Structure 1
Amino acid sequence: MRVHVTELKEGDRLSHDTFNSYGLNVLSKGTELFASEISRLFQHQLDYVEIERRVVEQPPGRTIESTLSPKWLPAVEPVYQDAINGCQQLFMNALQSGKVAEEEVVATFQPLVDTFKTERDVVSMLLLLNTKDDYTYQHSVQVGMLAYYLSSWLGYEEEQAVKIGQSGFLHDIGKCQIDNDILNKPDRLTEQEFEEIKRHTIYGNTIILNSFGESISATVALEHHERMDGSGYPYRINGDQIHPVSKIVAVADVYSAMISSRVYQKKRDLLFVLKELYRMSFNELDPFTTHTFIKHMIPNFIGKQVELVSGEFGTIIMTHPSEFFRPLIQIKDDFVDLTQDRSLEVKQVFM
């Protein structure tokens, strides 16, 4: 079936080789289309492509909330929940014995990697799975997953990326020694309570040292709140003093914390979160690591509905490789390139 590129859906599969106006093969027959592939078609200024007939069409009038397959959530939600439960058990074991068992970390985290590593829409994935319950454990799971993705995007080999993901998964293990009344306090922390919260980095470092000895995971547990400008904790180190993997987990940690819905924090608009990360990349977070994260997250917004500051509503058709927050928007039959029209910007993305 022949469709306009603006009508493509993630999961569509090309039935023919696709060439641009210069005869260059852009995508081959059989290619499954996701955000990056659809973006490539736009970049080559293609209008129509031939795709295999869709088995299931989108129900008429349905608002697009996610580009994920309808079969996706029931299949992966149990794996995600098992990881949260496994994380809780690790925290309990660490509290009781002061250690975690490496085989238990692998047994809890590896199913996540095996299940999620082919899922490209990380934005929708985390939103659909995110709940208000078990914040500490859920946050650990999310940071582990995001650290795995981000390290892969930065060029780490699979085995290294998995290890980095495990380090992200364990980054907050020291919170097992923080009183739950402080961890889950709905009001502003006192200065004394915040000082206690900050000690989770030292507690976590000690637990992992006692468990594995010197390791990346121990370093990450200690350094994931350190900042490039020296404003972090516990030791206010800065720049190259911070381990590269700690910089990866720091980005994942901030992103997960900001998208989470907690009793004292409303879940923020995702574009706002990415803009905030971008702002932090100029002083607090490592710029290259942060920009790599944003560059790979932004294409997941393709196909999402947006509201512009003008009050108009449209759909993100294409994202820009460097002007992250100025995509190409389709408004009814018109296309607005926000890199050209500087008077407009996206106010909100509807997930």
Structure 2
Amino acid sequence: MRVHLTELKEGDRLTHDTFNSYGLNVLSKGTELNAREISRLFQHQLDYVEIERRITEHPPERTIESSINPRWLPTVEPVYQEVVNGCEQLFMDAFQNGKIAEEDVVETFQPLVDNFKTERDVVSMLLLLNTKDDYTYQHSVQVGMLSYYLSSWLGYDEQQAVKVGQAGFLHDIGKSRIEAKILNKPDRLTEQEFEEIKQHTIYGNQIILKSFGQSVSAIVALEHHERIDGSGYPYRITGDKMHPVSKIVAVSDVYSAMISSRVYQKKRDLLFVLKELYRMSFAELDPFTTHTFIKHMIPNFIGKRIELVSGEYGTIVMTHPSEFFRPLIQINDQFIDLTVDRSLEVKQVFM
């Protein structure tokens, strides 16, 4: 059976020799896959491998977002955590000095780009590493990486994409001026507290201007909560007045916030989150930017087990380029195109 690397489990066994893009043999036929071997496949930037068919009596219970084991990502997790720690230091510098050093931003963020820019599925893996701890810093790291990828998908060159990623990384730096008891409050914010939270956009703009002058990062810090229909903050500007990079970071910001674990919020199913982004693209988020993001995320569903609203279980075989949430699925020996059979709908995606 052909599976994506993110679907591998310890104990799986290869049925074919596995080669990388240069034709070098990575692992041989018959190799039993454990954490070490799976990590090696990730390092060689492979996508799919052939393994012996598994015998399972029940469909897996974990959703796509909770199913990747961080132990399989030994080269990812330490880099990610180091950047989270570096982000915390930047927030501390902003709080104590009112500014940050541009070279510190580059030095902190660049390792993620260097390690992950060739990985197609790293966005999913990176977001799975988050916990309920250090939400503000992890969120900043995630938004930076998502913004880097999304700008690349939109056609920005490598140098431009890195700058966009840095802007996403710094988008919430203004929260360094917000009291921790408000940022981490588990209950609903009062109107006064929410007004204070909204000030982080202005604070962030001020910090970045003081740090290294007028820049895309300063604009993004100010605009990332503005919305296309004028319903955002702090100035309720509309899409025609928003900087293009602000639109990129806005999509990345919403996505990261919705899938993250927080004291008052559990992670939500990835399919639900993408559907919510799609809904928002008709009023709040830039449609072209949002649809580009969804189009590049949806292929991660190929090969995943799903439950239909009918209660039947199947596997996603192919995704549709425009009807994102109506894939071609296989149930036993039957193939069903959900763009044709409109009576069926995916309820949940499993590992």
Both structures adopt the same fold (TM-score exceeding 0.5): yes
Q: Measure, in 2, the Cα distance between the counterparts of 1:256 and 1:188.
A: 20
Change (3 A) 1:329 1:205: same
1:174-253 alignment, distance < 5 Å: 174-253=174-253
Q: Which residue does 1:18 correspond to in 2?
A: none
Deviations 1:175-233 (A, max 9, x none): 00000110011110000000000000000000000001000000000000000000000
Q: Paired residue for 2:321? A: 321
Distance in 2 (alpha carbons) for counterparts of 1:165 and 1:214 = 17
Q: 2:236 is aligned with what amino acid?
A: R
Provide the C-alpha distance between the structure 1 equivalents of 2:102 and 2:285, rounded to a whole number of angstroms.
29
8 Å contact from structure 2 (residues 302, 317) kept in 1: yes
Which residue identity lines up with residue 200 of structure 1 in the other structure? H
Q: Is the 8 A contact 1:174 1:200 kept in 2?
A: yes
In structure 2, what residue type is equivalent to 1:84?
V
Aligned to 1:91: 91
1:31, CA displacement in angstroms? Answer: 5.1
Name the SS of the counterpart of 1:75 in structure 2: coil
**Could you tell me the TM-score, scaled by structure 2's length?**
0.84
Q: Which residue of 1 aligns with 2:105?
A: 105
Question: How far did residue 56 of structure 1 move?
Answer: 4.2
The SS at the match of 1:348 is strand
Per the alignment, in what secondary structure is the counterpart of residue 322 of structure 1?
coil
Equivalent residue pairs, number: 315
Percent identity for Structure 1 against Structure 2 = 76
- Paired residue for 2:8? none
The corresponding residue for 2:2 is: 8
Secondary structure in 2 aligned to 1:268?
coil
Kindly indicate whether residue 348 of structure 2 is the aligned counterpart of residue 348 of structure 1: yes
* Structure 1 SS opposite 2:76: helix
Name the structure 2 match of 1:169: 169
Tell me if the contact between 1:146 and 1:252 (Cα under 8 Å) persists in the aligned partners. yes
- 1:88 CA drift (Å): 0.3
Q: Does 1:136 align with 2:136?
A: yes
Shift of the alpha carbon at 1:123? 5.2
Please give the TM-score of this superposition, normalised by the length of structure 1: 0.84
AA aligned to 1:212 is F
For residue 72 of structure 1, report the CA deviation from its aligned partner: 4.5
Once the two structures are TM-superposed, the CA of residue 326 in structure 1 deviates from its matched residue by 0.5
CA contact (8 A) 2:16 2:30 kept: no
Check 1:165–1:279 CA distance in 2 against 1; reply closer, same or farther (3 A cut): same
Instruction: Kindly provide the CA deviation profile for residues 149-184 of structure 1, in whole angstroms up to 9, marking residues without a partner as x.
Output: 000000000000000000000000000000011001
Counterpart of 1:211, as a letter, is: S
Query: Which residue of 2 is the match for residue 116 of structure 1?
Result: 116
- The change in CA–CA distance for 1:197 and 1:30 in structure 2 (over 3 A counts) is closer
Q: Which 5+ residue runs of structure 1 have no aligned equivalent?
A: 1-6, 16-28, 33-50
Change (3 A) 1:172 1:30: closer
Q: Distance in 2 between matches of 1:79 and 1:326?
A: 36
Q: Hey, what's the Cα distance between the residues in 1 that align with 2:253 and 2:77?
A: 21
CA distance in 2, matches of 1:68, 1:264: 23
Distance 1:95 1:158 in 2: 31
RMSD between aligned residues: 2.5
What is the distance in 1 between the residues matched to 2:63 and 2:20?
26
For residues 332 and 134 of structure 2, what CA distance do their matches in structure 1 show? 41
Letter in 1 for 2:200: H
Residue range with higher mean Cα deviation, 228-237 or 114-123: 114-123
Output the amino acid matched with 2:2: L
Partner of 1:291: 291
Write the distance in 1 (CA, Å) between the matches of 2:96 and 2:166: 21
Q: CA deviation at 1:122?
A: 4.0
Give the aligned partner of residue 44 of structure 2: none
Contact 1:143 1:252 in 2 (8 A): yes
- Residues 122 and 297 of structure 1 are in contact (CA less than 8 Å); yes or no, is this contact kept in structure 2? no
Deviation, 1:68, is 7.0
Taking the TM superposition and a 5 Å limit, the aligned residue runs for 1:235-314 are 235-314=235-314
* Equivalent pair of 2:123/2:146 in contact (CA under 8 Å): no
Query: Could you list the per-position Cα deviations for residues 111-156 of structure 1 after superposition, in whole angstroms to 9, with x for gaps in the alignment?
Result: 0011111221145313431211100000000000000000000000
How has the CA–CA distance of structure 1 residues 233 and 54 changed in structure 2, closer, same or farther, with 3 Å as cutoff?
A: farther
Contact 1:14 1:31 (8 Å CA) reproduced:
no
Q: Is 2:70–2:129's contact at 8 Å kept on the other side of the alignment?
A: no
CA contact (8 A) 2:143 2:249 kept: yes
Cα–Cα, structure 1 residues 72 and 141, in superposed 2: closer, same or farther, change >3 Å?
same
SS of match in other structure, 2:4:
coil
